[in-house]
Chains A and B, each alone.
Chain A
Amino acid sequence: MKRWAGPLAVLMLCALGAHALTLHFAPAVIMDRAMAALAERGVALHAFTAPQRVTPQTQTVVRSSPDLYYALCRYDLSDPAVRLSVRMGAWPDYQSLAFFDARTDNFATLRGTGRKVAVRLLPPGRAPEQGAIVSPTGRGVILIRRLAPTPARFAAAAEAGNADACQLERVSR
């Protein structure tokens, strides 16, 4: 029996370690795969991609709502000498500008019902500034949602989307 004590302890330690590591890395791995899938499907880096209306045939992200207009922008602020200038055009109904980091955290959301919104996104580690948000991780996704439950409203939301922008800028120091 004694000769099994050591292997059993090792088994328990490995189980606990693998359990914790799996949970720790799962969101980042899933987000990484999702961002790669979005890139494959044409979601641009540093630009909002004009979306198709969500249907079973066009869906790219789990649990998307067919009642919402979604515009996505992938970003990469690994270079500390850059920033992102983000604008959400005006829309008379509900709309929001949501920021997600590489670990899937929704670290900021700006609601813009009936108005346009402009904000700068800064690389991780930068000091906070007025009118700016600091990203917790170098990479992430920005998502505009607009309430658009009918084809006509979706077309109007797409028109409003012409005023959206997600632009990388080099910062002079």
Chain B
Amino acid sequence: MRQSLRYLGAVVAGSLLGLGSALWLAGLWPQRSTMAFGDVDVGGWRSDFAIGSEAADPYTRARVARHGLLALAKTEAVYFTRATDDTGAPLREACTYILSGGTMPAGWWSVTLYDASSMLPANTDGALSIDAERTGGGAWSAVIAPERPAGEGLWISSRGADTFDLTLRLYMPDVALLADPNTVLTPPIIKRLSCGESGA
């Protein structure tokens, strides 16, 4: 009888362990939601060029299904995500950042802010992204903050986001980018300017 209970316990515990570890490693565990993963890392911006294709490993497939459903394959678009600033600290609504960059190796690009649930944060600011058309050619910069900054510059609103990440979309990517992203892509930098009451 005791031995039977041991086997029963082993089945239950093993199944829960397997389920939990798969959910954790695939980023499906609640609150473990960043898309900042993958084998391509350019200046802290992470991507997996297997997204959307049958070649994606099971962890990538599961994670993309949860956090990047209906993403395109790399010949049409590549997606880079970053959840930390240039010091390695998590991106937070309480802080103000400067995002800056230049020309991107793609036909069109955008940077969009998402909350920990991979959704646009629930605000009505109408300022959740910037794109190649709004920045024009050459060098550009944008403020990321929960309140609109003074002046006419570009702004991405983090109001209501709590912790968040940024997704850089590169549509119609240059062939050279797919072949050698570390050489071809100069990704935007994220400099933290200040933080609110929680310090740092």
Q: Which residues of A contact B (CB under 8 A)?
A: 3-4, 6-8, 10-24, 26-27, 30-31, 34, 54-57, 59, 61-67, 94, 96, 98, 100, 103-107, 109, 111, 141, 143, 145, 147, 149
Contact = CB atoms under 8 A, between A and B. Distances in A.
A13 to B, nearest CB: 7
Given A15-B17, A65-B169, A106-B71, A59 B10 contact: no
B108 A27 contact: no
A54 B120 contact: yes
Given A19-B21, A56-B119, A62 B66 contact: yes
B153 interface: no
B171 A94 contact: yes
Contact of A67 (B16, B35, B131): B131
A19 B18 contact: yes
Given A7-B10, A61-B69, A64-B120, A18 B22 contact: yes
Most B CB within 10 A of own CB, among A23, A30, A62: A62
Contact of B18 (A18, A141, A149): A18
Interface stretch (B50-58, B85-93, B138-146, B189-197): B50-58
Which bracket fits the contact residues of B? Answer: 35 or more
A139 B167 CA distance: 29
Interface of B: 3, 6-7, 9-11, 13-19, 21-23, 26, 28, 35, 52-54, 58-59, 61-62, 64-73, 75-76, 107-108, 110, 112, 114, 117-124, 126, 128-129, 131, 133-134, 160, 167, 169, 171-172
A136 B64 CA distance: 19
Contacts of A12: 14
A94 B172 contact: yes
A57 B119 CA distance: 10
Contacts of A11: 10-11, 13-14, 17
A68 B28 CA distance: 26
A108 B48 CA distance: 18
A102 B50 CA distance: 17
A9 B52 CA distance: 36
B15 A109 contact: no
A66 B128 contact: yes
